Structure 1
Amino acid sequence: MSADALRDLRILLLEDDFLIAMHVESLCRDYGAAEVVVRHGLDEVDEKMVADFDVAIIDVLLSGVSALPLAEQLAKSGRPFVLASAYVEVEEVKKDFPGVPVIGKPFAGDDLVAAVATAAGRT
């Protein structure tokens, strides 16, 4: 994976686990992301915010609340995103969101970067 795979991307990260969010933010910046904004719950996100980013990384389950309705909105509007989860069956989510990169947790850094780059049309 190229060190600038995410160069200049503005990334919205929805992750409820503080340590995972810090790791993913750092990883994205290491691969060239211009901006990574972390939000920990759906109540911290609105349509305008989502429209301001090139790609989103969404944890499927945020503090026990499904983020799939947001993913459905993004899919309908054509906004690129990646889904990540430790709690749901990855293959099941892939069926519901064809063409959307879905990664299971724990994930390797290169897998996440590749998924974000793919979602953003970089590969």
Structure 2
Amino acid sequence: MDVEQLCRDYGAGEVVIARDLSEIDQQKIDTRFDAAIVDLMLGGASTRDFALQLRQSGVPFVFASGYSDADEIQASFPGVRLVTKPYSGDDLVEAVAAACGRRSAA
């Protein structure tokens, strides 16, 4: 599944794909992102600190990952949805819409 195309199909103007956290200017998180889909591991590194920055900046986000310990994620990030791989596009869109306080158009 092409997450970038999925986001565009549902109206995203700009989609930023990062294969490594160093590709993201973390100083401008709150002005750069309206929402985020975060894999728990990116380029072999944990994204938990990045997710904490998103939460502190008020940017809605979901985790989309093959990581299977949902209880651990809920304990660290209460209220943040974990969409586990393999996931459907509808599942991902619904999770992002809910994180943004909207209902999905799906």
Smaller-chain TM-score bracket: 0.7 to 0.9
The aligned residue for residue 86 of structure 2 is: 106
CA contact (8 A) 2:81 2:95 kept: yes
The aligned residue for residue 115 of structure 1 is: 95
Q: How far apart in 1 are the matches of 2:72 and 2:50?
A: 17
Q: Partner of 1:25: helix, strand, or coil?
A: helix
> Post-superposition shift, 1:49?
4.8
The aligned residue for residue 91 of structure 1 is: 71
The superposition leaves residues 75-121 of structure 1 with CA deviations (integer Å, 9 ceiling, x where unpaired) of 12222111111034123212211111211111111000001111122
The aligned residue for residue 3 of structure 2 is: 24
The superposition leaves residues 56-84 of structure 1 with CA deviations (integer Å, 9 ceiling, x where unpaired) of 11111112210011111211222211111
The aligned residue for residue 14 of structure 2 is: 35
TM-score relative to the length of structure 1: 0.75
> Post-superposition shift, 1:50?
5.0
1:63 aligns with 2:43: yes
TM-score relative to the length of structure 2: 0.85
Letter in 2 for 1:80: P
CA contact (8 A) 1:90 1:103 kept: no
Q: Partner of 1:82: helix, strand, or coil?
A: strand
Q: How far apart in 1 are the matches of 2:67 and 2:80?
A: 18
Alignment coverage as a number of residue pairs? 102
Q: How far apart in 1 are the matches of 2:76 and 2:4?
A: 27
Structure 2 unaligned regions, length at least 5: none
